[in-house]
Every structure is written in C-alpha cells, then in structure tokens.
Amino acid sequence: MGELLIKNGFVFDPLQGIKGDRMDIGVKDGKIVEAGTLSAPKTIDAAGMAVMAGGVDVHSHVVGPKVNVGRLFRPEDKLFKSPHKSPTCSRMEMGCSVPSTFKTGYDYARMGYVFVNEAAMPPLHSPHVHEEIRDTPIIDNAAMPVFGNNWFTLEYLKNNEIENNAAYTAWLLRATRGFGIKVVNPGGSEAWGWGLNCVNINDPVPYFDITPAQIVKGLIETNEHLGLPHSVHLHCNNLGNPGNYTDTLDSIRLAEGYTPKNNFGREQVLHLTHLQFHSYGGDSWGNFESRAKDVMDYVNAHDNITVDIGQVTLDETTTMTADGPFEHHLCSLNHLKWANTDVELETAAGVVPYIYSPNVKVCTIQWAVGLELALFSKDLMRTFITTDHPNAGPFTRYPQVIAWLMSRAARDETMKTFKWLDRTIDATSIDSIDRELTLYEIAQMTRAGPAKALGISNTYGGLAPGMDADIAIYGLNPENMPSDPAEIEKAFSRCAWLVKDGTVTVQGGEVVAEPAKRTVWVDVKVPENAQVQRDIYEHFLRHYSVKLDNYSLFEEHLHNPRVIEVNTTE
Amino acid sequence: MKTVTLTLTKPPELMLEGQNITPDNFAGKKAAEIAALDVWEGKQKGPLGNYFTVEGDGGATAAETKIVLCGDCTRVKRVGQQMTAGEIVIEGDADMYIGGWMKGGKVHVKGNVDSFCGIGMEGGELIIDGEAYHHLGSSPRGEWRGMQGGVIRVAGNVGNDTATFINGGTIIIGGDADIHVSTHGEGGTVVIKGNAKGRVGGQMVKGDIYVFGEIENPLPGFQKVGEVEQEVDGVKGRFAHYIGDLGERHPVSKGKPVYANIYTRI
C-alpha cells in the first residue's frame, strides 16, 4: 500500500481536540502517520473541505435474522425505491428502510462511515449475523449479543453470582464472536414468552423472579468486572409509551455509584440507546409530550452515562427489535403486518412496518424529542447521532439529521410541513431552541464520541498517527458554510473522499474501491470456571434445540477478524 | 391529440418489459426518439424500434398523446405502467402488468390480458374487452395499500386474488370471478356480474362487493342483515345484504362499527 497526503483541509478531530485547523494528514501502509515523514505520496487536495475521521455508528440494525425478516416481508420496500444506479459498483443495491447488505455497505461508505456496530445479535443465530457481516462491503462491523433476557444471565444474577455471570459472558462473546453486552427490554422479552412484559424496572420476570433493575445492575457489575471495551448497552423497559421518562430515569439511576474499569479509554458504565423512544411525558396519546429536558438534565449531570438519540426522520420505515412485546403492541396500534419470533433461552424479536407521518401529532412530537436530546446536551462526546436504523428511520437519513442539528432554518423548514404544528410546539421545547451545532460537535457525535464509548478510540474515530487511516472528507468549508441547509445534507450524504485503511474508497460520492472489511470482536480470557462449564453443558443437554458442539460459531463463518483481547486472569 | 402507432413486427422470444410505453414517456418526442426508448427482453436491453415500427409523433403533453399498439402483443408486459394521463389502445391481447400503478388516463385492451393488470392503481381507467387473469386490481406483493382509485372494467371472467387490499376505486367484472375477492379490503367496490367461486371478502374490514350471480362457497365470517333495493352499474335489483368479515377488526365511526358489505342478487 502506498502513501497518501491529504493537504490543506480543515481538520476536525475531537479525540485530539483539533477544531478545524488547516492541517495535512499523512497516510502510510493503511495507518495515519506524521505528514512530514512521507517520501513520495499521492496527494489529495482537501483545500476548502472538512476532514474528519471515518464515521463510527454506535447502534444500527444492519445484519442478522431480524433484519433479513424485514427484507423478506417487505418486498414493497424495494419497489420503485432503489433509484440509485451506481456507475461504479456492480452489485445490486436495493431496499430503502431495510437495504440489501451491499447497499448498506456502499451507502455507509458514501456518507463517510467506516465502522458500524450491529445493535442486537441473537446468540443462537450468530452464524447468520456473521454471514451477513461478510456480505456487507467496506465497513468494519461488530455485533453485540443480547444478554438481558438470557436464562443463564437471569439465573446467575438472581443469585448475585457476578463471577459466574462474567465467565458465562466471556464464553458467549467467544461463542458468538460478539463485541459487548447488549440489553433489550431487560426481563420483558423473556416475560413475552408468557404473554407478559416488564413495564418498569421493578416488574419481576415470571418464573425467574428477578427484576429488570437487578439484571441491569448485575450486568454493569459483570461488564466492569471483565473490563470490556464497551459498557452495558441498554434499551430500557417500557419503550415508546407516553409517560415512560420516569422509567427511563429509574433505569439510568441504576448506574449511580459505578465507575468504569477498563484499559480502553472508555469513561461510561452505561450506554442508553435510542433515548428518543424513552423520553416521553403525558399519560395517553392525547397529552403525549416531550420530556427530553428532564432526561438530558440527568445525563448532563452524570459523566458515567452516554446516549444516542434515535432520531425520528419522518419516513416510512420498518421497526425491528428484540423487544418482542413492544412490536406486538405497535402492531395493535397501526394494524400493519407483524413478524415475531422467540429464540429459545435467549431472546425474542418482532418486526412491524411503521410510517412516521408529518400529519400525525405523535410522530412530529417524536421528531422534536430526538433533536431536543441532542440540542440540550452539554457534552456531545457523550451524545451520539443514530436513527436506531431502521426503527426511527433509515441510516441514510443521518445527513438530514445533521442538517437539522446544524441549522435552525432546516428545522423550521421541516416544521412547516407539520399538520399539528401548534400542538407539536406546545408539547415540546423545539421551537424555543436556537442552538445550531458546529462541525466540531458533529464530529464528536458521529466519530470521536462513539469510538470512545465503544472503547475503540485507539483505532477508530480519530486522526492521530498510528490509528487506522480511515478519513472522510466533506465538501464543506467551515469558514464559509452554506446558508442553504440542503447543501449541508448533500455534503454529508456523499462525501468528497473516503479513505479506508489507506485506500481511496469513495471519490466524488461514488464508491471506487472495496477495501477488505473486518469483523471486530472481543476475546476475554477468564479463569477456568467448572461450575459455569457444567451449567452450559446441562442447559444444552436439557433445553437447547442444538447441541453444544454445534452452537459456537465455526471459524469459517468469521470474516477477516480483528480481535480485541481482554485478560482478566492477570 | 396526437396518435403514435406501434406495430409489433418482430415478436420477442421472451417477454418484453414495456414499462416505457406510456404517454408520459412518449410526450414531446418524435417517432425516431420514441423508437430509441429502452425495452428489455430478459436481461437484454434494446431500443423499442427493434421490435416495433413507430408511426407518428407524441403530443406536447401526456394528456395529448394517444398510443395504439397493433400486432400480437401477448408477450408485451407493463404497457401503461405508472401513466398519469393520455390514452393507450391495445388492439389485441397483452401480457401482465398492463396499467399497473396507473394514476390517470385510459388504457383499452381489445383482447385478453394476463395477471397483475391494474395492480396498485391510483386513478384512471382500465378497460379490458376480453378476460383478465389473476391479481386484477390487486396490491403489489407485500403492499397493504392496494388499489386507491380509478375504474377497472373487464368484460369477461377473471382469475383469483382480485382486488386484494383494495382501498378505493371500482372494479366491474362482466363474467365470473375465481376465488379470493377483496381479501383484506378496506374500501372500494367490486361488482361481479357472474358468479364467484368462494373466499369472497376474507378478512375484509370495509368496502363493498356486489355479486349478481351466486357465491359458490360463501365465508362463514359474513352475516346476513337484511335485503336492499339498489342500482348497481345501471342495473336495478334486489340484493341480500351481508356484513363482515366478523373475524376481523373493524373501525368505529360515530359510535358504530363499520363493516364490509357483500350484496348478492336475489
């Protein structure tokens, strides 16, 4: 691999505190180097453009069985909705809210992203997840197995056996080649197997008789006992219901008193995902209102928390989550088609199409809540842009979300289309917020912050020498920002250049190369634990539909791994 | 109105994907430009002029353009797809997807058509002098928003799965209908002047079906509530009135649940 010099760009690298300085970035053998050390580099002229690290997505549903169910049961999501015919890529690109694997990889690259964390991997189906990771070009992927409704976890945590739970967690991360601890509606998806749900953190799980509060606290302790790169990644109980912000605050408070213990530079113990869905007031759809302020006041005051917003983009999309009871609830609200599955001892999932319409008051309030979360944030290194793809909107709308955050005019333009504008303004604070985020703050929310929260900021999310040469260049001049927010959206939709691992991957918004992508996973070494080994053996003998020998991912499913090693035995 | 006459001189070996044959695409084009429009035979893309001779220029707008297709078009699909205005006359038979996703204008087929004609229709008029096959005026695969508006008139019989997920508009069938009519319907009207085989109105929430003949196997989810005198498509008659599908959810309007209606002539 050759040398590359990116000259004269305005560099934004929050990890190093670089705020739009005019700098040169050197690349050699796929890594970033001091610009002066290059001998005969190829040059990219980035004058008048913004240079950032490749984007890092902390939470997106892009690979795995429920994503594929979404693809299969929504053929209408492809019909007349795959307009982009790339002049440079030969692979079929189709789908809108649930794009094909190829479109997923290409579209992320076109937006300047290089790392995407799959937000929920059902452990039993990890081979499927890894096969789709292999088929998603360009972007590096990690996948988090779900733990919050896993029988092993529930049993260990009920008895407060943190060490045993840690040994099991390490085993499952290796068995699924997983990245970290994801928790979806703790206890609720297991209760769904009984036709029930856990609607707050003190609602006990049937049979197991453990509360969501115990599950979350136990998993935080497990995570810090192991010292994993990422923290517990929590989708709270009672998603999407009026008045749920109190349950959300109860959930966040569970992190009080915990401090991060890890060697990866991570500073939080709990990541709250798609917070927009969890910040609602009122007690019915009639008096539904935003409580983003209350939630963000708490988050702003507590350093051991990170959040992503889960912005509603007002599109027709496909919701999919391991929160089985929620999807059933949603189906009974919109009467559209519903897919549901139970994954044995581990989790459940549901899929329902959903239309976020500017003519529906609840949808436009949801839109405002997401933006308020970001605009009320005092620390954008702890507040990240997501759309919980595809739940609140497709990831291809990130550029639109960025435009809304960077421009009051963009927000006003969208609000003009709302049927219930007055009621939306009454139920939210969006109209009183004039804050417009800067390019530096967008770089915090889309690369530096997520990389740090995921514990991968030594490799991704920054431009310091030694890091992966993942560099996105956007056609935006910070000294002369366009007055039309549509130009901001356009610039972030199609980056001028994307360099991935030192290879020019996107040029002028089109994919021109497909450098090898990686699977990032976390290998944890723990002391041998005979009891956990026996428990695993017993559960597979009695309860699983597969044998233990067939459960762990076979090596051939794992595509181009990058292993992050954690050793707890020293 | 200007007329463009397409005559099929070299019939395709496979099916021809003719979605470019619409007044919208022909408007403002000379005959030579029309002959250069793309059509697909299997995976091969080629100009329209490889298969058809083109006579006449398009009008200034779609509404001022009339297209006449001559020759054996039994292997030509998707004529009039997504058209918004103007007129198409097919002098004989045609293949699938004729008038699919139509928004306006008129398509007149003087022979028979295959399946999926008029699917996802939003407006306009589709007239078929012969017979139509399956999925007439139905929703596209996976789509829950079926026919929204417009009129489909078939003189002969139709196949199965007519008007699935119909939301609006009218379908008038001169002959018999096979199984599955207005499945999942939430509006619109289907008139069957002959007999219907069965599964009429399954999971239907709202909307009307008139059957002049008999329903061979009526569904148990419909309940007779009375008899009514009505005029349907110019024919006066007395109908038995059934409501249903009672196994399905039903919206409530002014405190009363709204049901789908099936009327069979007495």
The rounded distance, in Å, linking the Cα atoms of B201 and B185 is: 7
Instruction: Retrieve residue B242's tokens.
Output: 């059934």
**DSSP at A553:** P
The rounded distance, in Å, linking the Cα atoms of B103 and A423 is: 34
ipTM for the complex shown: 0.88
State pTM to two decimals. 0.94
Angle (nearest 5°) at CA A93 between A90 and A99: 150
Closest A-chain CA to B144:
A336
CA dihedral B181, B185, B189, B191 (to 10 degrees): 10
The rounded distance, in Å, linking the Cα atoms of A555 and A553 is: 6
> CB–CB of A404/A368 below 8 Å?
no
* Beta-carbon count within 10 A of B2 CB: 16
Q: Which of B140, B142, B249 sits opposite A73 (nearest CB)?
A: B142
The rounded distance, in Å, linking the Cα atoms of B130 and B122 is: 22
The rounded distance, in Å, linking the Cα atoms of B87 and B107 is: 6
Q: Which residues, including other chains, have CB under 8 Å from residue A195's CB and lie 6 or more apart? A: none
The rounded distance, in Å, linking the Cα atoms of A457 and A455 is: 6
Q: Which of A74, A76, A316 should one mutate to test binding to chain B, selecting the residue with the greatest count of B CBs within 10 A?
A: A76
How many Cβ pairs within 8 Å bridge chains A and B? 18
Q: Which residues, including other chains, have CB under 8 Å from residue B247's CB and lie 6 or more apart? A: B203, B221
Closest A-chain CA to B248:
A335
Distances (CA, A) of A382 to A394, A441, B199: 22, 11, 57
Quote the strand ranges of A171-264, DSSP E: 182-184, 232-235
Under DSSP, is residue A125 helix (H, G, I), strand (E, B) or coil?
Answer: helix
Q: Which residues of B touch A73 (CB under 8 A)?
A: 142
Under DSSP, is residue A153 helix (H, G, I), strand (E, B) or coil?
Answer: helix
| Residues in B lying within 8 Å of A, measured between beta carbons | 101, 140-144, 249
The 3 state secondary structure assigned to A324-369 is HHHHHHHHHHHCCCCEEEEECCCEEEEEEEEECCCCCHHHHHHHHH
Per-residue pLDDT of chain A (570 residues; tens, 9 = 90+): 589 999 999 999 999 999 999 999 999 999 999 999 999 999 999 999 999 999 999 999 999 999 999 999 999 999 988 766 778 887 888 999 999 999 999 999 999 999 999 999 999 999 999 999 999 999 999 999 999 999 999 999 999 999 999 999 999 999 999 999 999 999 999 999 899 999 999 999 999 999 999 999 999 999 999 999 999 999 999 999 999 999 999 999 999 999 999 999 999 999 999 999 999 999 999 999 999 999 999 999 999 999 999 999 999 999 999 999 999 999 999 999 999 988 999 999 999 999 999 999 999 999 999 999 999 999 999 999 999 999 999 999 999 999 999 999 999 999 999 999 999 999 999 999 999 999 999 999 999 999 999 999 999 999 999 999 999 999 999 999 999 999 999 999 999 999 999 999 999 999 999 999 999 999 999 999 999 999 999 999 999 999 999 999 999 999 999 999 999 998
**Which residues, listed in sequence order, are joined to residue B8 by a DSSP beta bridge?**
B52
- State the greatest distance between any 2 C-alpha atoms of chain A, in Å, as a whole number: 68
Q: In what order do the strands lie in the sheet with A339-343?
A: A316-321, A347-355, A339-343
**DSSP at B187:** E
Cβ of B140 within 8 Å of Cβ of A76? The answer is: yes
> CB–CB of B104/B87 below 8 Å?
no
What is the per-residue pLDDT for A386?
98
Cβ of A335 within 8 Å of Cβ of B142? The answer is: no
Cα of B201 to nearest chain A Cα, Å: 18
Instruction: Retrieve residue B7's tokens.
Output: 């005559």
Q: Which of B101, B142, B249 sits opposite A75 (nearest CB)?
A: B142
Can you say whether the dihedral through the CA atoms of A295, A298, A299, A305 is positive or negative?
negative
